């Protein structure tokens, strides 16, 4: 049964700390809060001569007894925060036994009391998602902290006069001390990844606080420290397959139970794939009322998963809702979605998630989603490709050459994750070391392609021309001997947090909804990363612990489904009226020259080769188009 509790949802924070400015920090805090009004409907502000703190909140239940900011008992410490602490009841109970007195019924106050006792050791005690700011009035010290997996965002910017922070980039840009300067390295990385790898952002000097980190600002000096990393348990090596399945199911049940804790309606994003179906099945067991489930429907058959989501909804007897999307709906909403993203971003699932949250908000306020399952259970096709590459490399060179030439002759397909695209990426990257091969397989533009479309002057000005280095550096920083686990951990540090969780937060909060991710409970993450990759994948069969855990819980057709993923058929849409014009207008000569980044002839050749079906450049063209549209809409010409 779902747990009900008193409290409210914390949706967004922002703040100004004067370093040298003579302007009152309170003067602009309201403007900063107004820029994130979609994150909550009630605001609160506290300020003194050097600091202004603001929060946007969504009132649900008992708001008057859980105000922000929250003060410690002696009023020395002050806190504002965004998020949910799922183990707050246990923490609160322990603190009460130690003599602490609580002024609110909310979950975030326990952080303040724990900080009083333990300082920055507090963060590892928490199970949940959070982005918080604590100010020590006596020591004049500001602390910012972000949850273990980076579910909740937090950004900061330091100028000569002020230190600014906020849940979204937009709130920081509202302050007059912010200098709007484009980060060229971020532009180059975006072209390869379709998102901007953090801690950098699209703006120079504006950074994302890394996951599992806290920032200390004292006497004008800023330091950032990591408080946690994935912590495998070596004793789990000898555990049996049956015990792994049992432990996985137990941890999943605990995680889902925690994330059903709410005093408002909760639903599930149900694609019909394994990950979301497991969440829906467990949630259905724990709720009295029929579960609300939500799915996307595409008219393009290879992109549509609705037969599977309908099957799962019937199996669980949920109140199932479908949102039908077509090319015109997405085209008409692109500018609005770009606004909420705040910086260039075009990973395809963001756009459908925006629309499903827009629909779901009339039925639920909290929604559960399956982000993270692939990164911990070895679910993505690039992991399978890397797993098979060791066998491919054993074949003699003539076989490699014959296979590559055959693959290159395959006709271009417009189907989702088509065979020709997968095989061409595999042969292009298989000769590299694992992290670079992984980048090559999943990027929208590899380093060679990016070099061709960027101007020589722009490329020479980059401190790190090759985006593949990001993967190589992360991979090499890990101590494990398990190649696949290191690749999955690399994705947890970059693709998961900077892509999937970034868009999950923005697209849900655009409609004042809270999206929760059961697969990223850190107890589950630590356990699954304690398993060798051989326990997760064999040949083409992946996610073994999860599939084993839910035998009897899901229909076999769902439990054995391969990964499909949520994306959009923009390759097909590029031929349609409206889409064709926006693509060609964005990539015409004057538009490309206005940015100053591109080799105009190379981009237009890429477009021509795609239109004539010489090569599938859909991902690259979609990325360039979205970058140019964002730059135009944000005053960079």
Task: Give the model confidence (pLDDT) of 348-361 as tens digits.
Answer: 899 999 999 999 99
**According to the model, what pLDDT value does residue 62 have?**
43
Average pLDDT over residues 560-570: 81
Cα-only R_g, the chain: 24
Structural domains counted in the chain: 2
Mean pLDDT in residue range 191-196: 96
Domain annotation covers residue 153: yes
Whether the per-residue pLDDT at 9 is higher than 90: the answer is no
Q: Could you give the CA distance from residue 427 to residue 385 in angstroms, rounded to a whole number?
A: 10
Q: What is the pLDDT of residues 266-317, one digit of tens each?
A: 999 999 999 999 999 999 999 988 999 999 998 887 788 889 999 999 999 9
| pLDDT tops 60 at residue 8 | no
- Residue 488 in any domain: the answer is yes
DSSP sequence for 360-418:
HTTT-SEEE--TTHHHHHT-SHHHHHHHHHHHHTTS-HHHHHHHHHHHHTSPP--STT-
| 512: alpha, beta or left? (left if phi > 0; alpha if psi -120 to 50) | left
Q: What is the DSSP letter of 4?
A: P
Determine the pLDDT at residue 300.
82
- In DSSP notation, 48-109 reads -SSEEEEEEEE--SSGGGS-SSEE-TTS-EEEEEEEEETTHHHHHHHHHHTT---S-SSSTH
The CA-based angle 90-93-96, given to 5 degrees, is: 150
Q: 239 and 214 share a domain?
A: no
pLDDT at residue 7, rounded to an integer: 43
Three-state DSSP at 212 gives coil
Strands 266-269 and 292-298: parallel
Enter the DSSP assignment of 38.
Answer: G
Closest among 496, 473, 475 to 485, alpha carbons compared: 475
Give residue-wise pLDDT tens across range 243-258: 999 999 999 999 999 9
Q: What is the pLDDT of residues 155-178, one digit of tens each?
A: 999 999 999 999 999 999 999 999
Read off the pLDDT band of 63 (50, 70, 90): very low
Q: The domain spanning residue 238 has which CATH number?
A: 3.40.50.620
Whether residues 88 and 121 fall in one domain: yes
- Please determine, for residue 133, whether its predicted confidence score (pLDDT) is greater than 90: yes
Give the residue carrying structure tokens 């540090």. Answer: 493
Q: C-alpha angle 367/373/374, rounded to 5°?
A: 130
Residues 219 and 241 in one domain: no
| % of residues, the chain, pLDDT over 70 | 95
Region 40-50: mean pLDDT is 86
* Domain enclosing residue 39, as ranges: 9-226
Residue 266 shares a structural domain with residue 215: no
For residue 3, the model assigns a pLDDT of 36
> If pLDDT is split at 50, 70 and 90, which confidence band does 64 have?
low
Q: Which residues contact 578 (CB under 8 A, 6 or more apart)?
A: 327, 328, 331
Q: What is the pLDDT of residues 425-469, one digit of tens each?
A: 777 777 889 999 999 988 999 999 999 999 999 988 899 999 999
Task: Reply yes or no on whether 110 is catalytic.
Answer: no
Q: pLDDT tens for residues 197-227?
A: 999 999 999 999 999 999 999 999 999 999 9
Output the pLDDT for position 302: 75
Considering 11, 346, 378, 492, which one is annotated as catalytic? 11
**Model pLDDT, residue 427:** 76
The verdict on residue 430 lying in a domain is: no
Looking at per-residue confidence, does 41 or 526 come out higher?
A: 526
User: Does 318 lie in the same domain as 182?
Assistant: no
Q: Is residue 240 part of a domain?
A: yes
Q: What is the pLDDT of residue 595?
A: 81
Single residue among 507, 526, 559 that ends a domain in this structure: 559
In a domain, 571, yes or no: no
Is residue 472 one of the residues assigned to a domain?
no
Is 297 a domain residue? Answer: yes
Mean per-residue pLDDT, 391-401: 77
215 and 239 share one domain: no
Q: Can you give the pTM of this predicted structure?
A: 0.94
Q: pLDDT tens digit string along 598-628?
A: 999 999 999 999 998 888 899 999 999 999 9
Which CATH number characterizes residue 40's domain?
3.60.20.10
End-to-end CA distance of the chain: 55
- The rounded distance, in Å, linking the Cα atoms of 435 and 172 is 34
Residue 237 near residue 66, CB atoms below 8 Å: no
Spatial distance between the Cα atoms of 441 and 435, rounded to a whole number of angstroms: 10
Q: Tens digit of pLDDT for each residue in 469-493?
A: 999 999 999 988 999 999 999 999 9
The pLDDT of 63-74, averaged and rounded, is: 76
Phi-psi region of 206 (alpha: psi -120 to 50; beta: other; left: phi over 0): beta
Instruction: Name the percent of the chain lying above pLDDT 90.
Output: 71
Domain boundary among 559, 590, 612: 559
pLDDT at 1 over 50: no
Judgement on whether residues 176 and 315 belong to the same structural domain of the protein: no
The whole-number average pLDDT for the span 107-135 is 94
Q: Are residues 190 and 256 in the same domain?
A: no
Same domain, 273 and 124: no
Query: Is 239 a member of any domain?
Result: yes
**CB-neighbour burial class of residue 635 (10 A; exposed 0-12, middle 13-18, buried 19+):** exposed
In 3D, which of 123, 144, 114, 127 has the Cα closest to residue 53? Answer: 144
Domain boundary among the residues 508, 531, 559 is at: 559
Helical (H) or strand (E) element with 527: helix 522-529
Note whether 182 and 304 are same-domain residues: no
Give the containing element (helix H, strand E) for 580: helix 579-586
Residue 236 banded pLDDT, cuts 50, 70, 90: confident
Q: How confident is the model at residue 6 (pLDDT cuts 50, 70, 90)?
A: very low
- 269 and 183 together in one domain: no
Examine the domain organization and report whether 197 and 316 are in the same domain: no
Mean pLDDT of the chain: 90
Count the neighbouring beta carbons within 10 Å of the beta carbon of residue 3. 13
Residue 268's pLDDT is 97
Long-range contacts of 532-540 (CB under 8 A, 24+ apart): 532/237, 532/482, 532/485, 533/378, 533/387, 533/482, 533/483, 533/484, 533/485, 533/488, 535/241, 535/244, 536/377, 536/378, 536/484, 537/378, 537/383, 537/384, 537/387, 537/484, 539/387, 539/388, 540/384, 540/388
Q: Which pair of structure tokens corresponds to residue 13? A: 């924070």
């Amino acid at each position: 049964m779902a747990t009900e509790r008193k409290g409210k949802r914390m949706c967004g924070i922002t703040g100004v700390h004067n370093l040298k400015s003579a302007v009152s920090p309170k003067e602009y805090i309201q403007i900063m809060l107004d820029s994130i009004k979609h994150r909550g409907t009630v605001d609160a502000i506290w300020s003194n001569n050097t600091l202004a703190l603001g929060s946007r909140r969504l009132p649900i239940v008992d708001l008057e007894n859980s105000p922000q900011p929250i003060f410690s008992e002696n009023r020395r410490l002050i806190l504002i925060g965004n998020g949910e602490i799922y183990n707050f009841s246990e923490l609160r109970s322990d603190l009460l036994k130690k003599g602490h007195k609580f002024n609110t019924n909310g979950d975030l106050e326990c952080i303040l009391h724990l900080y009083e006792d333990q300082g920055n050791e507090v963060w590892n005690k928490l199970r949940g998602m959070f982005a918080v700011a604590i100010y020590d009035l006596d020591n004049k010290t500001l602390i910012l902290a972000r949850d273990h997996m980076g579910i909740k965002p937090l950004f900061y910017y330091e100028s000569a006069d002020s230190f600014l922070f906020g849940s979204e980039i937009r709130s920081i840009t509202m302050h007059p001390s912010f200098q709007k300067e484009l980060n060229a390295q971020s532009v180059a990385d975006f072209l390869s990844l379709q998102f901007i790898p953090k801690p950098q952002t699209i703006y120079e000097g504006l950074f994302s606080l890394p996951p599992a980190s806290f920032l200390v600002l004292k006497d004008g000096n800023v330091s950032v420290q990591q408080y946690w990393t994935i912590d495998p348990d070596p004793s789990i090596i000898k555990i049996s397959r049956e015990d792994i399945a049992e432990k996985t199911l137990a941890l999943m049940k605990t995680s889902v139970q925690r994330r059903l804790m709410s005093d408002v309606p909760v639903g599930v994003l149900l694609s019909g794939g394994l990950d979301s179906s497991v969440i829906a099945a467990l949630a259905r067991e724990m709720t009295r009322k029929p579960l609300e489930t939500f799915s996307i429907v595409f008219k393009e058959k290879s992109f549509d998963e609705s037969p599977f989501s309908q099957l799962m909804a019937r199996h669980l007897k949920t109140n199932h809702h479908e949102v039908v999307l077509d090319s015109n709906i997405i085209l008409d909403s692109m500018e609005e979605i770009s606004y909420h993203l705040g910086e260039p971003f075009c990973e395809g699932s963001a756009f459908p998630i925006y629309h499903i949250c827009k629909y779901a908000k009339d039925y639920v306020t909290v929604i559960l989603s399956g982000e993270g399952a692939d990164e911990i259970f070895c679910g993505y096709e690039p992991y399978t490709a890397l797993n098979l590459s060791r066998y491919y490399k054993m074949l003699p060179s003539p076989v490699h050459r014959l296979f590559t030439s055959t693959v290159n002759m395959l006709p271009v397909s417009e189907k989702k994750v088509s065979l020709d695209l997968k095989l061409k990426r595999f042969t292009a990257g298989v000769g590299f070391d694992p992290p670079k091969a992984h980048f090559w397989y999943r990027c929208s533009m590899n380093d060679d392609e990016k070099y061709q479309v960027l101007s020589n002057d722009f490329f020479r000005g980059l401190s790190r021309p090759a985006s593949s280095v990001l993967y190589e550096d992360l991979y090499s920083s890990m101590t494990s001997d398990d190649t696949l686990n290191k690749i999955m951990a690399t994705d947890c540090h970059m693709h998961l947090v900077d892509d999937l969780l970034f868009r999950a937060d923005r697209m849900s909060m655009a409609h004042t909804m809270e999206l929760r991710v059961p697969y990223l409970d850190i107890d589950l993450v630590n356990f699954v990363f304690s398993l060798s990759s051989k326990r997760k994948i064999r040949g083409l069969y992946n996610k073994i612990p999860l599939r084993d855990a839910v035998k009897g819980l899901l229909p076999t057709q769902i439990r054995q489904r391969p990964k499909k993923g949520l994306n959009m058929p923009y390759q097909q849409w590029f031929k349609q009226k409206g889409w064709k014009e926006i693509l060609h207008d964005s990539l015409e000569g004057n538009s490309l020259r206005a940015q100053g980044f591109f080799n105009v002839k190379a981009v237009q050749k890429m477009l021509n080769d795609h239109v004539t079906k010489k090569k599938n450049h859909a991902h690259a063209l979609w990325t360039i188009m979205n970058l140019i549209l964002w730059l135009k809409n944000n005053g960079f010409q």
